Amino acid sequence: MATATNATFYELYRSSSIGLALADTLDDLISSRRIEPQLAMRILQNFDQSISTVLGDKVKARMTFKGHLDTYRFCDEVWTFIIKDVKFKLDNTHNVEAEKVKIVACQSKEKAQ
């Protein structure tokens, strides 16, 4: 977890395509000595905060899903679910299926305060 402005933000989105691209770019900048590692860490912390805020405030899409719960665990205030044979229903019109899905659920910043 990263801490910024007295609020806690999870590092979940660092493994997304945009988070990995940011990390690769920061690594290149550090390697070429254009920025210091401390600045890269602050940028990643700002990324954690910004992406959590934007996704929470701006994304209004809804989805439902059904599947078979294979595994679940609760550790350090984080739920992890592995669901098999999942059928997603998007916007009541589009259907998507997946063999296996991992869902990670964390406490929202509003509840944590």
Q: Where do the domains of the chain lie, and which CATH numbers do they carry?
A: 2-58 (1.10.287.190), 63-107 (2.30.18.10)
Distance separating alpha carbons of residues 67 and 84, to the nearest angstrom: 6
Amino acid type, 25: T
pLDDT, tens only, 10-29 = 888 999 999 999 999 999 99
Classify 113 as helix, strand or coil: coil
For residues 101 and 7, is the Cβ–Cβ distance under 8 A?
no
pLDDT, tens only, 47-90 = 999 998 898 899 888 889 999 999 999 998 889 999 999 999 98
Could you tell me the pTM of the whole model? 0.69
Please report the beta strands in 30-113, taking only residues with DSSP state E, as ranges in sequence order: 63-75, 78-90, 94-106
Q: What Cα–Cα distance (Å) separates residue 11 from each residue in 14, 33, 44, 48, 58?
A: 6, 25, 9, 6, 19
